[in-house]
Amino acid sequence: MKKIVKKAFFALALSAFLASAPMAFASSGHGHDAAVGHTDKSPNETMSAVIQGNNTFKGHVDPNHFDAFQDGQVPNLTVITCSDSRVHTHLFGFEADNNVFMIRNIGNQVANSEGSVDYGVNHLPTKILMILGHSSCGAIKAAMGDYSGETQGIKKELDPLMPVISQDDGNGSFKERWAKNVERNVDYQVDYSLKLYDAKVSHGDMVVVGAVYDFNNIYGQGRGSLIVTNINGEKTPNILMQHPVLKDLSKADIVTHVSSIAP
């Protein structure tokens, strides 16, 4: 378990798939053509790639790979992260099958997927709930502006971000404010989770970790880094570095993977 947790927190991400989502709020604002190496595919080309990709996966794993989860799942990590296609399970550095219970929505919000989070926390053997935000989050960008023209469904999912955006004092450039609001949202979701699962956290049965997947190098540790910004509500880096959940990590790993940019 210790080895898995260590890899889950701090293994550097594999090369990210830089494809922007088609919605206005789901990219950095430059449109999907700005994604490096991205080529639009027709529906039939996409479906063909899906089937061929699955065949490739099947061909590279032993049939025994599936033995461990024929009758149930035993993930070590429950993660709520953004639907953004640039955020992927490979960033944890280990096989996602039967290890990661992944929940996704725009803006990595607990309230918008509370039932799924409840299941991961209460019915699966996960000891860590990770709130994973990411740099250039389009949901945060949309919530910082006027999204009144969006569909009712999108507005309903963006509205819960208003308490986060209300913390924005307007100081600094838009990009700086955007990055800070991404981290503030992670903090908000951690606080929300701590209220929901107070008993588990208080009894030491679970740790709530807030992190940012930084493919913009905002935190200065290189593109694709996983930066821990919050553990059980604690946000001060120097204190975070002393948390018991990080005790098996090297000092170098801790220093380069624990940070904060939001006041």
Give the domain ranges of the chain: 2-41+75-257
Tell me the pLDDT tens digit for each residue of 183-206: 999 999 999 999 999 999 999 999
Is the separation of the CB atoms in 211 and 129 below 8 Å?
no
pLDDT 10s digits, 15-70 = 332 233 333 333 333 333 345 556 788 989 999 999 998 899 899 989 899 999 99
* pLDDT band, residue 95 (cuts 50/70/90): confident
Q: What is the 3-state secondary structure (H, E, C) of 94-113?
A: CCCCCCEEEEEECCCCCHHH
pLDDT of residue 21: 30
The arrangement of secondary structure in 2-41+75-257, i.e. its CATH architecture, is 3-Layer(aba) Sandwich (3.40)
pTM: 0.84
Q: Are 208 and 235 in contact (CB under 8 A)?
A: no
| Helices marked H in the chain | 2-10, 43-60, 114-122, 138-143, 152-158, 162-165, 174-196, 198-202, 237-240, 251-257
- The closest alpha carbon to 237, from 261, 212, 204, 260, belongs to 260
Q: Encode pLDDT of 122-163 as tens digits.
A: 999 999 999 999 999 999 999 999 999 999 999 999 999 999
Distance of CA 7 to the CA centre of its chain: 15
CA 260 to chain centroid: 16
d(C-alpha 215, C-alpha 263), whole Å? 21
- The predicted structure's pLDDT at residue 77: 95
**Which value, to the nearest 10 degrees, does the dihedral of the CA atoms of residues 181, 184, 188, 189 take?**
80
pLDDT band at 93 (very low <50, low <70, confident <90, very high): confident
Q: Is residue 81 within 8 Å of residue 161, measured between CB atoms?
A: no
